[in-house]
Structure 1
Amino acid sequence: MTTPVEAEPIFECFVYCIIALFASPRGLISPMRHFLCVLAVFAMTGCNLVYKQDIQQGNVLDEDSVTQIEMDMTKRQVLVLLGTPSVRSPFHSDRWDYVNTYARRGGDPIKRVLTLHFEQDRLVSLEGSYLEQDSLAAQALRDMQAPDEAPIQDLETIRRDN
């Protein structure tokens, strides 16, 4: 990246090329001037290009680890599976937050959170948007949080059969 001091000579060269193109008699320029103008144009286009890298912050949890979480696990077991949480609130010692922010090359950041709640050193609930809705881990979390109940039709047929 060029500093303002370095950019001034390039800008002056660019202005000189523009003046040379239009101020020369009958619009003719020498091959050397033409080469310098083209070189200045390429130099100016290179000044504006800034490389932006992907930015990953926070805990990166893989799907396999998250799918292995089960209710009634101890804090130690969860710690082994997921690692140290991003946030441990001093006011809520039984709440762990795993936060991840990902921004792709200067784009809008995507924030994902997985919040675990413990009671008496045991996992009692989890919530969050850490995983995409279509992933296997997200489906496993949904199944674990709200297990499928038998449909009402099946219960009625069971009652009739008995």
Structure 2
Amino acid sequence: MHRLVSRLPAALLAACSLAGCASLQSSDQNLLGLITPYRIEVVQGNVVTREQAAQVQPGMTRAQVRDILGSPLLTDIFHADRWDYVFTIRRSGAEPQRRGLTAFFDGERLQRLDASDDLPSEQEFVSSISTAKVPSKLPVLELTPEQRRALPAPAPTEPAVATTPAGPARAYPPLEP
């Protein structure tokens, strides 16, 4: 009985320590609200945009489809007439994304293209993966007609004087005797 009582504080201390460790790791984003671990960016597959999918038409050859969409992420020997294009990206500070597109072939020709409805345009894709803070007001890079009229006129330039080319300043001996 005496041994049990002497080991009880050590067991309670160990249980509390383990419970404390579990509560420290409860957040995936940071540790104790102070330390943010580095998360590697994982990009897999080909980005297929709405514009690219619109260029692909039934009847195209496999080479033409590959030229537009790139090499498929998945090709299967058991489903040789099916190419799967899957794109996933995980970046810190941006939402994880997963999109898919499947090309079905009949022999060497494209039969149909199955794409999800959420294929982004190129501009939408770039803005969805960007983690940069965009300023609320962008600077104007073009002058208004009033500002152009207010500019000083360029100074007149003198016409270039035509000079006749002078002969060689030094005569070199011939290379062959």
TM-score norm. by structure 2 comes to: 0.44
Larger radius of gyration: 2
Structure holding more helix per residue = 1
TM-score norm. by structure 1 comes to: 0.47
